[in-house]
Amino acid sequence: MNRTWTIIALLVAALGTGCAAKKGFEKPGFSFGCPIGDAKVSSMEDLVKLKVVQEGKRTTILATEMRCTMTGDLYKVDVNLNNDSSDIKRINYKFRWIDREGMRAWEEETWKPLLMYENSNITVSTVAPTNKAVDFRLVLLSQE
């Protein structure tokens, strides 16, 4: 009986360690694979707030998820955009790339028009234009 309880306890401990190891996998200065510098990010909402900016006319389209990974020595970014309204929405978006010194790593990207159906999600993906780009912002602009 005692042995059974010991095995169960060991299994639970092993699972717990596994989860802890996964959480600890994130490098310091990164959140969900995205560079955050010294900013305090404890949730996806914090990350989105840090990385998404609105310019010009505000849009109700929201970035709900963001993940980054490396492809070679370039950042690859996936951002999920959500339109939770019952109307079709049109927005423009672009990424802004920042280098190690906080300067622009690349010229201003072209605005990309995007149509979002009512109550829908779209993932926009991009790859950094250069390995000098170590940080980014997603810029949204309403077309309405």
Considering beta carbons, is residue 38 or 73 the nearer one to another protein? 73
Pick the closer one to another protein by CB: 32 or 95. Answer: 95
Q: Which is nearer to another protein, 2 or 110 (CB)?
A: 110
Tokens of 66: 């963001």
Does the footprint of another protein cover residue 72 (CB under 8 A)? yes
The mark string for 81-120 relative to another protein (x by CB under 8 A, - otherwise) is -----------x-x-------------xxxxxx-------
Alpha carbons within 13 A on the beta-carbon side of 144: 12
Degrees, nearest 5: CA angle 97-102-107: 35
In degrees rounded to 5, what are phi and psi of residue 102?
85, 5
Are 15 and 26 within 8 A, CB to CB?
A: no
Closest CB 141 distance from another protein, rounded Å: 9
Counting other chains too, the contacts that 26-30 makes at CB distance below 8 Å and 24 or more residues apart are 30/68
Per CB under 8 A, contacts with another protein among 29-68 are none
* Rounded least distance, CB 75 to another protein, Å: 10
Could you tell me which residues are beta bridge partners of residue 72?
Answer: none
The residue count of the chain comes to 144
If the CB atoms of residues 20 and 115 are measured against another protein, the closer one turns out to be: 115
Binding interface with another protein (CB under 8 A): 71-74, 76, 92, 94, 108-113, 126-131, 143
